[in-house]
Structure formats: C-alpha cells, structure tokens
C-alpha cells in the first residue's frame, strides 16, 4: 500500500537530510521508522544502517537497536570497553517491525514477539543475517556483564509500525498484551513495552524530533528572577512531584532518558546511599518534608511560553537533579500532593550560559573533567572553524550531545565529539586500533596529542572529512559493509595513500597546506571513492580475508599496514 501524502513528504524530507537515496517506499519507511523510534533513546547523530536488518534472516524484524548509556552500540568492543571500566550499564533493547500496510494484524504481532524471543535464545531457531548475528553477539556480551546492571535490568521496547491507524481494537489489544507477557517471561527485563504505531503517531513523533519535545505544566508557586545576561527568563519555586513526572514521561510511559543527557552524572541506582535516603523519605510519613531535604531540579529550556501559571517548555534538559527524578519515578506510586520538588526553570539558547550552569550545578560531587570537554575554548574554536567552511564541504561539530538535533542540517554531516577523536587518532596519529577497544586511552591524550590548542584546526577537519566520506560510501553501498570492522584502518590507509607523511608539527602553515590537500581529496567524491576502494583491497589482502575484530583491531595489524605503505610509497 502507498503511504499517505503527509507521511510520504516526511519520509522524503528525512531521506534528503540524511543524504540517502530512495530504495523504494517500503524500505524508505523502514529507515524512517528506525530514525524516529531510535533517536529519542540516544544522544548523538548515528548511522542507522548498522541496525537495519530487514532482509533475509531478519527473524521477522526490520531493525534491532541496543542502546547502552545513551549510545547506540553495534560493536562488541564498545561493550568491552565499558565493562572494563566498571561503568554502570543502562541498557535498552529496541525492536522494530515496519509495514506500509494500512491495517494491523494479530498474526504479525505474534510473529514479532516470537522473533524477539528467538533473538535471545541460546540456540536460535530462526535464521539470522549478519546484522542480527552481530546484534546477538553484542547482546550476549552485555548480558554477561549483568553485575553492572546497578540501576536495574535492561528495558525492552518493541514497536509495530504500519501506515494505517491504531484504533484499540479489542482482539488486537489482547494480542499485544499477550505478546508483551511472552517477552516478559524471558526474565531479562525490568520493563517491556509493545507499542503499535500508525501513520499519525509516526508523524507526530517525527515532528517532535524536529521541534524538540514540548511539555505543559502548572508552575504556580514560583518567583521570577530579574534580568540576567544571556538568559531570556528564569523562575524559582516548587511543583508537585507528580507534575514533574508528567513533564519527564515519554509517549510510551517511560522516564524520558534523553531529558538527562546534559546532566553529567548518570543515575547511580537506589543502592546509592543518597538515593536510598531519598526513597526512604518518600516511603515514610515524612514525605511532606521532601522540599526541605532535597536540592531539587534544574531545567534549561530553549523555549518557554507562559500564560498565567501555565508554562509550555520546548527542547529542554534536566541539567541537575537526575538522581532525584529517577528515584521519584521509581517510587511514583508512593507520591501524594504533599511531595513537592524545588524547581529552577531557566530559558536560554546561549551555549556558554548553558555550559556554565551545567558546570556549576554539578560540582557538588566529584565529576571527571573529561565530562566537560565541551567547555574547552579550543573545541569552541574548532566548532567555529567547521562552521566557516564552504557550504558544500560543511560539517557540524557536536560539542554537546544533541546540539544539532533540531537544526535544519544534514544529519550525516554532524560530527559527534567521540567520532572526531577516533577519526583524528586514526588519520593523524596512526592509532586506528585504539579507536575502538582503547578509546578511553585516547581521551587521556587530551590535550597533549589530541585537541592540543596549538594544533591547526584544518587537521581536524581533514580527519572528520575522511570519516564523512567513508561512512557515505558504506551508506550508499559503494563499499561492502563487511569492511566495517576495519573502518578506522581504512581511514589510516586512505591517508597513507594520499599523504604518506604527517607533518612533524601540527601548528604551522605546513600543517594547513597538508590538511588542505587531504580535505580536497575527501570532498572529491570520485577520487575519494577510488582511494578507499584501493585501501579496502589492500586491507583485505593484508588480513588474508579475515576481517574479524580480533584480527584487525590490534597493534600488530596496524604495524603491518604501516609497513606495507612505507615500502610501496614513492
């Protein structure tokens, strides 16, 4: 069935912004649905092709996404790095089945549930293609580190999308409830959601991503602060806890995790001493004392509209109070009108003011300085440099998570901070093997070897351009995705082909000229494709066809690549 006119227009808009050619209406709708349903769970621009599995061996699913600590994870090395650091793992599994049919099917609901259960089976009964197999491997690695689920077991969100309209038909609703129960019986999840979505729901969710989430609430007990430079308006007061949770709940009835991306400390779990004390207060007859015992919540919104005591906030973040909000959510059944929460509501779109507030409100406990890289003057300079490049070569540096989420920019041109660091290490420092398994070690090289204030900005633009071009070739099928595990070695090899010698100093005019030649190459689509094809052929030969992570992502293989090009370069 054909998509309705509005949905078709939104799908086309998404494909255009993502620089994706149409692959036919059914596939286009699948990719659109993956973007709409995965984006609220993650905090950076992502190449969704790594989760699209809708072909043979897909276990009846079109997309499988695994989100860990706000990042869409499709690489087992990322899981190993997190587990090695002892980080708490907050995990969400997202399964999506999308159809252009205008009706929902009870049989399809059952097939989806069976596919999800089979995904977690020790010996799956359904055939699995490479993307599903990779997701299964990532999942097994995550579940083997269950000791790190300090905030509770993973959650599971299953979406059944059509181009029709969900009407709460009794037979369908009963089947959805049964499917949810079937998945819950795996005993893997703290919560399971099975959500049918029609065209109208998909349109609304897409528009929310474009404009930022909008919530309305009553803020009666407050005072307005006088004019503050860089701030449109600011209010101090308190609101009922139940009203706060209404603001922070998402469309699927979960706590909206994306509202906390700018809060530098993740939820520490209710076993944390402070959080346990909060929970104890909420469960006692002293819950009315909550506003006297709690520091409250700080919300920064890009837009605030006020009509009397009613406030409408849009594109907002909780920058302080993550622990409070999570404990309130967990204990929401114990709340009553006496539980009030101190609230600081600030409206500003000044990035410097936002960062200053984040730093100030999160200094009551120790926070690693690496969490504040976004505040560095040099990273701001890089952002301005990226913004000043010609339009046809422009990339957008994402200093802060979801910084460009609601901007009218081509999403594939957004360069998240971690991608910039990995690309620079691969292209400039000859360290592609550290870009995945040893990423934390790369952060330790800031600001001496990476993001050194003396470095010329052009060398970072060269590295980011290389990554952009490579991902473009993967996305459009010009390079076989079996080379994905060797992505960072391909970046190194492409540079070794084009410019074998890196300038000894990255702070002078020689570095600018060198980087300029690389940038010219990577933005010349035919030449860049030829270079990456040659690089892929060499990597394949050196690896003897074994592109597994254990073969590729090692120092010995990096040294092998460097020796090869050292002996073949003129």
Q: Are 197 and 159 in contact (CB under 8 A)?
A: yes
Q: Quick one: pLDDT at residue 82?
A: 78
Peptide bond into 447 cis (omega under 30): yes
Please calculate the CA angle 308-314-316 and round it to the nearest 5 degrees: 115
Q: In the numeric block, which tokens belong to residue 332?
A: 């929401």
Of residues 217, 216, 234, the one with CA closest to residue 225: 234
Q: Quick one: pLDDT at residue 46?
A: 59
Domain co-membership, 55 together with 159: yes
Domain co-membership, 141 together with 38: yes
Q: Quick one: pLDDT at residue 499?
A: 94
Domain co-membership, 521 together with 409: yes
* pLDDT (average), residues 13-41: 88
Q: In the numeric block, which tokens belong to residue 340?
A: 């009030």
Domain co-membership, 459 together with 522: yes
Domain co-membership, 226 together with 257: yes
Domain co-membership, 430 together with 356: no
Within 10 Å of residue 257's Cβ, how many Cβ atoms?
Answer: 23
Beta-sheet pairing, 396-398 with 340-347: unpaired
534 or 23, higher pLDDT = 534
Task: State yes or no: pLDDT of 363 exceeds 70.
Answer: no
Domain co-membership, 330 together with 387: no
The per-residue pLDDT for range 499-550, each reduced to its tens digit, is 999 999 999 899 999 999 999 999 999 999 999 999 999 999 999 999 888 8
Q: Quick one: pLDDT at residue 369?
A: 41
Task: State yes or no: pLDDT of 352 exceeds 60.
Answer: yes
The per-residue pLDDT for range 86-144, each reduced to its tens digit, is 778 889 999 999 999 989 999 999 999 999 999 999 999 998 988 899 899 999 999 99
* pLDDT (average), residues 258-264: 66
Q: In the numeric block, which tokens belong to residue 337?
A: 């009108």
Domain co-membership, 242 together with 231: yes
Task: State yes or no: pLDDT of 146 exceeds 60.
Answer: yes
* pLDDT (average), residues 302-311: 88
Task: State yes or no: pLDDT of 49 exceeds 80.
Answer: no
* pLDDT (average), residues 68-81: 84
Whole-number Å distance between alpha carbons of 280 and 263: 24
Residue 45 — pLDDT band, cuts 50, 70, 90? low
* pLDDT (average), residues 15-38: 88
Residue 277 — pLDDT band, cuts 50, 70, 90? confident
Domain co-membership, 406 together with 551: yes
Q: How far is CA 199 from CA 32, 52, 172, 195, in A?
A: 12, 20, 17, 13
Of residues 113, 13, 94, 6, the one with CA closest to residue 48: 94
Q: Quick one: pLDDT at residue 78?
A: 83
Q: Quick one: pLDDT at residue 260?
A: 77
Q: Quick one: pLDDT at residue 402?
A: 65
Domain co-membership, 74 together with 136: yes
Of residues 300, 385, 313, the one with CA closest to residue 350: 300
Domain that holds residue 505: 371-568
Domain boundary among 314, 349, 367: 367
Using CB atoms within 10 Å of the CB of residue 284, give its burial: 0 to 12 exposed, 13 to 18 middle, 19+ buried. Answer: exposed
Residue 43 — pLDDT band, cuts 50, 70, 90? low
Domain boundary among 211, 232, 266: 211
What percent of the chain is predicted at pLDDT more than 90? Answer: 51
Q: Quick one: pLDDT at residue 365?
A: 43
Determine the longest span between alpha carbons in the chain, in angstroms.
80
Whole-number Å distance between alpha carbons of 531 and 520: 13
For the chain, percent helix, then strand, then coil, each to nearest 5?
A: 50, 15, 35
Whole-number Å distance between alpha carbons of 515 and 428: 10
The per-residue pLDDT for range 315-349, each reduced to its tens digit, is 888 888 888 898 999 899 889 999 999 999 999 88
The per-residue pLDDT for range 459-513, each reduced to its tens digit, is 999 999 999 999 999 888 899 988 988 999 999 999 999 999 999 999 989 999 9
Domain co-membership, 206 together with 352: no
Task: Give me the helices (H) in 39-129, please.
Answer: 76-84, 106-119
Task: State yes or no: pLDDT of 63 exceeds 50.
Answer: yes
Domain co-membership, 549 together with 402: yes
Beta-sheet pairing, 91-98 with 155-161: parallel
Domain boundary among 367, 396, 430: 367
Domain count, the chain: 3
Q: Quick one: pLDDT at residue 447?
A: 85
Sign, CA dihedral 255-256-261-263, equals negative
Beta-sheet pairing, 297-307 with 63-68: unpaired
Whole-number Å distance between alpha carbons of 366 and 563: 44
Whole-number Å distance between alpha carbons of 228 and 224: 11
Q: Quick one: pLDDT at residue 543?
A: 94
Of residues 42, 72, 35, the one with CA closest to residue 159: 35
Residue 65 — pLDDT band, cuts 50, 70, 90? very high
Task: State yes or no: pLDDT of 364 exceeds 50.
Answer: no
Output the DSSP codes for 243-298.
HHHHHHB-TTSSB-GGGGTTSSS----TTSHHHHHHHHHHTSTTGGGHHHH---EE
* pLDDT (average), residues 221-226: 92
Q: Are 511 and 503 in contact (CB under 8 A)?
A: yes
Rg over CA atoms, the chain: 24
Residue 409 — pLDDT band, cuts 50, 70, 90? confident
Q: Are 96 and 161 in contact (CB under 8 A)?
A: yes
Whole-number Å distance between alpha carbons of 529 and 21: 17
Q: How far is CA 95 from CA 44, 53, 131, 155, 214, in A?
A: 19, 10, 13, 11, 26
């Amino acid at each position: 069935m054909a998509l309705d006119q509005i949905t078709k227009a939104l799908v086309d808009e998404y494909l255009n912004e993502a620089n994706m050619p149409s692959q036919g209406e059914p596939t286009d709708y699948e990719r659109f649905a993956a973007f709409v349903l995965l984006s609220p769970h993650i905090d950076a621009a992502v190449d969704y092709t790594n989760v699209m599995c809708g072909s043979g061996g897909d276990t009846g699913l079109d997309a499988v996404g695994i989100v860990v600590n706000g990042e869409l994870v499709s690489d087992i090395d990322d899981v190993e790095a997190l587990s090695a650091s002892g980080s708490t793992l907050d995990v969400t599994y997202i399964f999506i089945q999308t159809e252009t049919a205008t009706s929902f099917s009870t049989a399809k609901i059952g097939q989806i549930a069976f596919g999800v259960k089979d995904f977690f089976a020790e010996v799956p009964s359904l055939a699995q293609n490479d993307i599903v197999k990779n997701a299964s491997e990532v999942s097994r690695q995550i579940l083997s580190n269950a000791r790190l689920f300090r905030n509770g077991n993973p959650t599971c969100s299953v979406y059944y999308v059509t181009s029709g309209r969900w009407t709460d038909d009794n037979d369908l609703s009963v089947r959805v409830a049964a499917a949810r129960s079937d998945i819950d019986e795996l005993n893997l999840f703290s919560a399971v959601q099975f959500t049918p979505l029609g065209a109208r729901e998909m349109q609304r969710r897409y528009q929310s991503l474009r404009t930022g989430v909008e919530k309305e609430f009553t803020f009666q007990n407050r005072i307005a602060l006088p004019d503050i430079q860089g701030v449109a308006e600011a209010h101090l007061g308190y609101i009922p806890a139940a009203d706060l949770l209404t603001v922070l709940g998402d469309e699927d009835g979960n706590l909206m995790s994306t509202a906390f991306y700018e809060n530098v400390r993740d939820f520490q779990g209710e076993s944390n001493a402070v959080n346990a004390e909060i929970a104890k207060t909420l469960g006692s007859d002293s819950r009315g004392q909550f506003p006297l015992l709690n520091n409250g919540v700080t919300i920064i919104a890009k837009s605030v509209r006020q009509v009397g005591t009613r406030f409408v906030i849009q594109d907002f973040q909780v920058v302080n109070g993550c622990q409070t909000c999570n404990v309130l959510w967990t204990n929401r059944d114990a709340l009553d009108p006496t539980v009030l929460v101190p609230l600081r509501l600030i409206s500003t779109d000044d990035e410097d003011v936002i960062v200053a507030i984040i730093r100030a409100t999160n200094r009551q406990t120790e926070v690693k300085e690496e969490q504040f890289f976004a505040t560095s003057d040099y990273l701001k300079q890089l952002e301005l440099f990226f913004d000043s490049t010609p339009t046809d070569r422009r990339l957008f540096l994402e200093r802060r998570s979801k910084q460009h989420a609601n901007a009218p920019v081509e999403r594939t041109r957004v360069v998240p901070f971690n991608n910039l660091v990995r690309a620079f290490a691969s292209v400039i420092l000859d360290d592609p093997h550290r870009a995945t398994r040893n990423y934390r070690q790369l952060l330790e090289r800031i600001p001496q070897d990476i993001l050194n204030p003396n470095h010329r900005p052009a060398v970072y633009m060269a590295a980011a351009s290389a990554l952009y071009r490579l991902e473009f070739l993967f996305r459009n099928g010009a390079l076989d995705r079996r080379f994905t595990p060797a992505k960072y070695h391909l970046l190194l090899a492409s540079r070794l082909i084009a410019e074998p010698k890196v300038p000894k100093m990255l702070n002078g005019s020689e570095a600018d000229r060198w980087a300029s030649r690389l940038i010219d190459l990577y933005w010349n689509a035919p030449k860049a494709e030829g270079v990456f094809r040659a690089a892929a052929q060499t990597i394949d030969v050196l690896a003897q066809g074994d592109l597994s992570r254990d073969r590729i992502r090692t120092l010995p293989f990096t040294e092998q690549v460097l020796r090869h090009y050292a002996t073949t370069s003129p």
